[in-house]
């Protein structure tokens, strides 16, 4: 079944030589040989994109953002995202970097806690022309530096990345896009992203960290009743309904795209006993996991 997209996978998909992959990579978007439209999945690398011109939809966790013109986009390995081109061709730059690129100071000093990367943060921003010109200059310099023989170039590149992040933090997120007008909207957005980052399930050793309303409420530091009330007000569904819907979606994906035992799929979704998973699945779908899989066309798994 499909796993995280690796840096090598990405380079192959856009028609670039995988041998170019290292701790840090930077590319002009318009030089990609293939379309940069991408599937909705997690990656195993961080990505910062300076889009100077584009027309497309970025789907990030549970949200879709229309980008027409320029934008800054921050993507981390935990949150699945995809890009759908609507017209034209994208222009700008993007850099990719792996965990190996992140030193201890970078990791502890702000990257993982930055609102640009964390769950519930502001991963898409819209710079004005002056900021766009400044950021473009930095990306051009990073492109030159990655090709240099300077012995400490990765230290310098980390500094450039931090400058990009600091300049981005100066920007305000668009009102209504990342700043919900009510507390219920804000709590719902955080919950839905926290729910989504647990998927897709990629191996039989992986399981859901948060499985019920109490666990989600504890992670968000609010009372369970408060979480339920906020979700009901903002979305019309309870916490349990959202969790069940997402678990069924993942269960169907695993039944369809993997050859894992049904009991193993249930265990990954928080059911210690296969019988309980069968009862849950049938209640939600009207059919058993076994019957659901049996009625699917055969798909080989590599």
- For residue 236, the 8-state DSSP code is S
The CATH number of 183-294 is 1.10.10.60
What burial letters (b/e) apply to 123-146, b meaning 16+ CB within 10 Å?
bbbbbeeebbeebbebbeebeebb
Q: Which tens digits make up the pLDDT trace of 59-102?
A: 776 577 889 999 999 987 767 678 888 888 889 999 998 777 87
Per-residue DSSP letters for 118-132? STTS--EE---HHHH
Q: Hey, do 7-169 and 183-294 end up sharing a CATH topology, with the first three levels equal?
A: no
Total-model pTM: 0.59
Give the separation between CA 114 and CA 91, rounded to whole angstroms: 26
Q: Is the pLDDT assigned to residue 145 strictly greater than 50?
A: yes
162 exposure class (CB count in 10 Å sphere: 0-12, 13-18, 19+) = middle
Could you state, in order of their start, the residue ranges of all structural domains in the chain? 7-169, 183-294
Residue 80, helix vs strand vs coil: coil
Tell whether domain 7-169 is in CATH 3.30.70.3270. Answer: no
Give the separation between CA 187 and CA 265, rounded to whole angstroms: 29
Q: Residue 173: what are its φ and ψ, rounded to 5°?
A: -70, 145
- How far is the CA of 230 from the CAs of 24, 64, 247, 263, in angstroms? 41, 21, 21, 34
Q: Which tens digits make up the pLDDT trace of 105-135?
A: 565 555 655 778 766 667 889 999 999 999 9
């Amino acid at each position: 079944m499909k796993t995280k997209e690796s840096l090598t996978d990405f380079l192959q998909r856009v028609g670039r030589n995988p041998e170019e992959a290292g701790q840090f990579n930077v590319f002009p978007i318009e030089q990609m040989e293939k379309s940069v439209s991408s599937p909705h999945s997690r990656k195993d690398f961080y990505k910062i994109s300076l889009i100077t011109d584009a027309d497309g939809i970025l789907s990030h966790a549970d949200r879709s953002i229309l980008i027409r013109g320029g934008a800054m986009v921050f993507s981390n390995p935990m949150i699945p995202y995809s890009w759908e081109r609507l017209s034209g061709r994208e222009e700008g730059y993007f850099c990719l970097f792996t965990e190996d690129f992140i030193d201890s100071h970078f990791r502890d000093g702000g990257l993982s806690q930055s609102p640009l990367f964390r769950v519930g943060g502001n991963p898409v921003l819209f710079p004005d022309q002056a900021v766009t010109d400044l950021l473009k200059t930095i990306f051009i310099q990073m492109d030159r530096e990655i090709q240099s023989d300077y012995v400490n170039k990765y230290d310098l590149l980390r500094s450039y990345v931090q400058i990009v992040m600091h300049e981005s933090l100066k920007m305000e997120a668009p009102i209504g896009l990342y700043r919900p007008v009510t507390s219920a909207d804000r709590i719902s957005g955080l919950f839905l992203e926290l729910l989504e980052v647990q998927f897709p399930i990629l191996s039989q050793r992986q399981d859901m960290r948060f499985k019920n309303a109490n666990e989600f409420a504890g992670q968000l530091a609010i009372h369970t009743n408060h979480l339920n009330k906020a979700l009901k007000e903002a979305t019309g569904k309870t916490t349990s309904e959202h969790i069940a819907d997402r678990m069924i979606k993942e269960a169907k994906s695993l039944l369809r795209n993997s050859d894992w035992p049904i009991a193993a799929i249930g265990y990954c979704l928080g059911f210690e006993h296969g019988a309980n998973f069968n009862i849950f699945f049938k209640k939600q779908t009207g059919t058993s996991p076994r019957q659901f899989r049996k009625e699917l066309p055969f798909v080989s798994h590599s």
